[in-house]
Amino acid sequence: MREYATQMEAAKKGIITPEMKIVAEKEYIDPEELRALVAKGEVAIPCNINHKAISPEGIGTRMRTKINVNLGISGDAKDYEKEMQKVELAHKFGAEAIMDLSNYGKTNTFRRELIAKSPAMIGTVPMYDAIGYLEKDLLEITAEDFLKVVRAHAEEGVDFMTIHAGINRRAVEAFMREGRKMNIVSRGGSLLFAWMMMTGNENPFYEHYDEVLEILREFDCTISLGDALRPGCIDDATDAGQIAELIELGHLTQRAWEKDVQVMVEGPGHMAMNEIEANMRLQKRICHNAPFYVLGPVVTDIFPGYDHITTAIGGAIAASSGADFLCYVTPAEHLRLPDVNDVKEGIIASKIAAHAADIAKGVPHARDKDNAMAEARHKVEWEEMFKIAFDPEKAREYFESTPPADRHTCSMCGKMCAVRTTNMILEGKTVEFCSEK
């Protein structure tokens, strides 16, 4: 029996846990420095006591930017085998987290297999699962029912849960008063809004927040405070509804920390590039520097089919401005459930954003592979380049698709390759193009 219930309680007691030691080694940080950051809530290590396969990761201040991959079945796409193929891709390309967003039938079959096998953190949104799990219509579900689903997910080993506790009556009033082009685009937020409007009751996750925290504390499950009122188009960004909910999330963050429950706070959403940095700073200020988890942001609304690119742009700006955790977006966003290829494109795009931000933030050793790639390119060592590349198979496939006559160049520049020309001159050789040498 361990001496602490959660990573945060251990940190406050001065205990460096085995999970902290692993994270400290991964992040090139002194374990004592990490412990202090966990104690303050600036770093979360989502690690449910029942998730035995996990490889712990830290999210927050001084940590590498992490990415999350959304998976799960729906009524229109319920192929468990295909979802497991996506899981394998997430593992292959180093996604640190996987969220099971299944919303059809008895979803715990897929989730239990995921938790049993996955070294990545596993997240869920209990609100999505409530209807299928309880087999009740929305109006029939009680506050106690919602808590049952939270407990079920925690017992299964879920490492973090998105709980939309901030969309209370005050936040709804601000949203209703101002109005929006896209209204509420959060699935969990819309269901809670509907439940509140139909029953006349307060948000059950807000009203019974202490009970939610007690459940999460028991299993050391991190709460990810969901942004139900996140903007769903760039014109709705930074409006009264978003900010009203953010203020509530800041207060809920402190209440969770008082119970030694680790916290992440979720953020926008769709947002023009010029608003991103200010939003990151505002979120960190109001939520006391808790780890910040963003969806995108999507920086323009007119590129369906390419939203992995629009969000990579926004994600890079967000992470370089303070966001700690990026939720991937695939080319299928706004259109359909992503297939395996969509998932790969989404993962790669998010990894690009996260890595680019880590370089900008000066994260220790972030540039190491980039420098190694520069050295391999300087020497025109193709095998070394492929080895260093994040996706070696694709790099090799492109190179080999139009093979150059001279393996010391590629088919784009041929013998006019700038690297080849400069290397030859510096080696004291003569550069000639009109005769074979």
Would you list which residues are annotated within the binding site?
Answer: 70, 99, 128, 164, 186-188, 227-230, 266, 270, 293, 334, 410, 413, 417
CA 225 to CA 188: how far, in whole Å? 12
Residue closest to 119 by CA, chosen among 152, 150, 159? 159
Half-sphere exposure of 375 (CA within 13 A, CB side): 9
Distance of alpha carbon 274 from alpha carbon 290, whole angstroms: 23
Contact between 184 and 172 (Cβ < 8 Å)? no
Q: Can you read off the two tokens belonging to residue 199?
A: 């029953």
Contact residues for 393 (Cβ-Cβ < 8 A; gap 6+):
none
Distance CA 311, CA 324 (A): 15
Contact 283, 291 (CB under 8 A): no
Those residues whose C-beta lies under 8 Å from the C-beta of residue 56, and which sit 6 or more positions away, are 19, 22, 23, 45, 47
C-beta separation of 409 from 403 below 8 A: no
DSSP label of 235 = G
Query: In this structure, what are the phi and psi dihedrals at residue 288, rounded to the nearest 5 degrees?
Result: 60, 35
Q: List 225's β-bridge partners, or say none.
A: 163, 265
Spatial separation of the C-alpha atoms in residues 315 and 299, rounded to whole Å = 9
Q: Could you tell me which residues are annotated as the binding site for Zn(2+)?
A: 270, 334
Question: Binding site for [4Fe-4S] cluster: what residues are annotated?
Answer: 410, 413, 417
Tell me if 64 sits within 8 A of 84, measured CB to CB.
no
Per-residue tokens: 214: 């007690």
Q: How many CA atoms lie within 13 A of 175 on its CB side?
A: 25
Residues marked as binding for substrate? 70, 99, 128, 164, 186-188, 227-230, 266, 293
- Contact 88/117 with Cβ under 8 angstroms? no
Q: Which of 184, 228, 177, 185 is nearest to 206 (CA)?
A: 228
CB atoms within 10 A of CB 287: 24
Structure token pair of residue 249: 């999330």
Helices and strands in the chain, H and E counts: 19, 10
DSSP state of 93: T
